[in-house]
Amino acid sequence: MNARAPLAIRFGTLHDNLGEPKRNGTLLIEDGRVYAVGGSETEIPAGARTIEGACVVPGLINAHAHLEGSGEAQTMTVFVLTTPTQRALVCASNARKALHAGITSMRDLGSSEKLSIDTRDAIANGTIAGPNVVAAGRAICMTGGHGWFVGRQSDGEWDVRKAVREQLRDGADCIKFIATGGVLTKGAVPAVEQLGEDELRAGIAEAHKHGLKCAAHAIGTGGIKNALRAGIDTIEHGHLIDDEGIALLVERGAHLVPTLAAIRCILDGGDDAGMPDFVLRKARAIGEHAETNLRRARAAGVRFAGGSDAGTPFNYHDGYAYELELMQSMLGMSPREALRATTVNSAAALGLQRGTLGPGEVADLVVLARDPDADPRAFRDPEFVVKDGAIAFETR
């Protein structure tokens, strides 16, 4: 059967992100797009494959991931002990895992060399299976800054502009800046600012001039505010944000990608999992405050977009369901809010025309055995994944 043959999905519930869920209907898909959404009596076009499913949701979008990482306990040493070829094969494997877990689009926020960009292209031209990838190329950090062992070290306004231009030359879709220290880099303190506001402003202006959105790794509130004042589009992590930072985030209308799983998976791993002591120490210090701070941000009306930082210790590319569960248990979101954050909000944050399932829209969707409204863990076991109107994964 032609992979792009018309599809008809008989659903119990459709969460199309367009108002209240629809019940007991039929979703028709043709030429990669939703053709119509009708009732249970809808006529199935000749030649269409019919699927029955309890619940249909838009394809998930992971707005923060690293395809080269597979959840290893020691992130820094991965890049010392492996060759670029080995890591390229890992990217292919992780892209397939993400797709099979229901992720139809993802943003890679920092790879070595051009690996995320080349992976994006290999998926787009059909060489390998995977989600649509929005790739940042190399993250831009200060000399010795968070992620220096894989990022583009850069200091001063003109050098940061040049670093942005290098990512543009390599074909990046977006730019990632490191505004504070981080957990996984020895010696980088998460609360402390790294690239300064002037450097961020220069780099963001350069990226925006060419139509690229910008993300800032920012855990400490000083770096969060620097990035927001400099014009950033998404704040990544944001765990130590204060009220002034929250107010600025709301005022600027930037999205916050909370990457709850990044901290949680390290804490779940614990003392005997082989992580360096500094990683556990920093994760524990952040973990004490993250939930309180992010709940305040949510109460203040901050726009959350879903991203898990997949690739970091014990945080797997096929484990995005855990992020949706943590959005519910840690931030108090309903299952529908978590779904919206990881679909339509992530799409908006990345500038993608995806995340809803109305007629005419791109047919990226997941068929689930259960409705997330009734079971927060329903995202764990997709039965079918449809990407660009074609079945990309099926269990039956």
Q: Taking every pair of C-alpha atoms in the chain, what is the biggest distance, in angstroms? A: 64
**Encoded amino acid at 233, one letter:** D
- Of 193, 203, 223, the C-alpha closest to 160 is 203
Q: How far is the CB of 259 from Zn ion (least distance, A)?
A: 7
The CB-of-190 to Zn ion minimum distance in angstroms stands at: 12
User: C-beta of 215: minimal distance to Zn ion in Å?
Assistant: 9
Q: Among residues 291 and 309, whose Cβ is nearest to Zn ion?
A: 309
For 95, the 3-state DSSP assignment is: helix
Provide, rounded to whole angstroms, the least separation between the CB of residue 307 and Zn ion.
Answer: 8
Q: What are the distances in angstroms from CA 235 to CA 20, 21, 206?
A: 29, 30, 18
Contacts of 272 (CB under 8 A, 6+ apart): none
3-state helix, strand, coil in the chain (%, to 5): 35, 25, 40
Residue with smaller CB distance to Zn ion, 13 or 75:
75
- CB 219, min distance to Zn ion, A: 11
Q: What is the DSSP letter of 57?
A: E
Which residues of the chain form contacts with Zn ion (CB under 5 A)?
Answer: 309
User: What is the phi/psi pair of residue 210, to 5°?
Assistant: -100, 10
Q: Report the residue number whose CB is nearest to Zn ion.
A: 309
Other CB atoms within a 10 A radius of the CB of residue 206 amount to 22
Decide: helix, strand or coil at residue 106: strand
CB 93 to Zn ion: min, Å: 19
Q: Which residues pair with 27 in a beta bridge?
A: 9, 37
**Nearest Cα to Cα of residue 339 among 79, 15, 76:** 15
Kindly tell me which of 184 and 378 has the beta carbon lying closer to Zn ion. 184
Q: Which is nearer to Zn ion, 67 or 302 (CB)?
A: 67
Kindly state the smallest distance separating residue 331's Cβ from Zn ion, in Å. Answer: 19
The CB-of-66 to Zn ion minimum distance in angstroms stands at: 6
Comparing CB distances to Zn ion, the nearer of 309 and 388 is 309
Contact 363, 388 (CB under 8 A): yes
Main-chain phi, psi angles of 35, to 5 degrees: -95, -40
Task: Please name which of 71, 108, 109 lies closest in space to residue 318, comparing C-alpha atoms.
Answer: 71
Could you give the CA distance from residue 219 to residue 84 in angstroms, rounded to a whole number? 29
List Cβ neighbours of 238 (8 Å cut-off, separation of 6 or more).
218, 219, 224, 245, 249, 256, 257, 258, 293, 294, 297
- β partners of residue 257: 236
What is the nearest approach in angstroms of Zn ion to the Cβ of residue 22?
A: 36
